[in-house]
Structure 1
Amino acid sequence: MLTLYTPEDYKRVLEAALLTASGPLPLPELKRLFDEEFDDDTLRALLADLKADWSPRGVELAQLASGWRFQTRPEYQAHLDRLKNEKAPKYSRAVMETLAIIAYRQPVTRGDIEDIRGVAVSPNILKTLEARDWIDCVGHRDAPGRPALYATTRKFLDDLGLRSLSELPPLADMEASMENRDVTDAAAQQEI
């Protein structure tokens, strides 16, 4: 076993663990890498140093909702996508609207979603989001029928590269974006 003496030695162990991990690693799991006891601040300082070491590269160390991971910098992702044979899944507008409602208003019931969207929510929409592990049932409302309450998951935050829901764009920006998209879609329809 390697003897660790310097902060550089500790950072190399963290780097090896994070580069080989299949998913984000939380602080308690990272602490298990060492015989020494580290407080959270010391470990965060080592991670911050490691993040700075990687700053000029195409890969970055990122803190997400469920822990730390190395990931491709966004500006290089388009190039890497050329190597993929599979296409990213496309989601319908109804799926994306439902996800946005859950993300911004959680916890919500299916009825809440229907009230906001103004249309019935297909069970397949919720199943799609649950299968992707972006939403989960987090309880039941104390109301007749005890409807399920839905909320987003840590995987949702991780997949979006967020640490918390507070990092979501402001709702007003989302609504303006959707209105602009509607205007663009309508103009495109008129040209056809």
Structure 2
Amino acid sequence: MQPVTTVSGAAYPWGAKNVDTDVIIPAHWLKTISRAGLGRGAFETVRAQPGNIFDDPAYAGAPILIAGDNFGCGSSREHAAWALADLGVRAVIAPSFSDIFSGNAVKNGIIPVVLPQAAIDRLLAVAAEGQPVTVDLETMTVTTAYQDRFAFPLDPFRRRCLMEGLDEVGLTLARDRQISDYEAATREQRPWTQPRSDHARIAVEGAGRT
């Protein structure tokens, strides 16, 4: 996962409420286990409508999506976060998120920014004018070219994971030394817990130290 500290640029001024994961990525796209290419299916039903915001050249490649309350509700499919990331979205700003989607977003390098509806309304207006929006994890703020500045909360652990580019694998690898030390101590102190093939090796190592 790539570290992210700042996301800045155009923003999709969508504002839709109760956007569930089936809207984000329809179920027939879930047959794949690859993240690549899922952006093509992102918001497929919305993009089937003429003049939709996701195919508007003015917002092509926008890294920020501004949505309404309860974004990401519905199923727990991680494909929803995969599809957004493949579409190029690195931050979603909304009044609230589904807990599962919020967790999946962070695991895929997407910042879930929670702001009150009044701030959302202001950002929708700014984005609709084509003005850039900036999400900054260093200062925990969302800012605009009009000097708007909105502070947002984020769990410190999730913030660290995003800024350091740590997913579950990365977090585990960061503790590789501690894990190795623990396994070595376990082999020494409780050899009967080890696989049978290890018993002879442990006995030889023990004899060599006497």
Under TM normalisation by the shorter chain, which class is it? under 0.3
Q: What is the TM-score of this pair, normalised by structure 1?
A: 0.21
> Which of 1 and 2 has higher RCO (CA within 8 Å, sep 6+)?
2
TM-score normalised per structure 2: 0.20
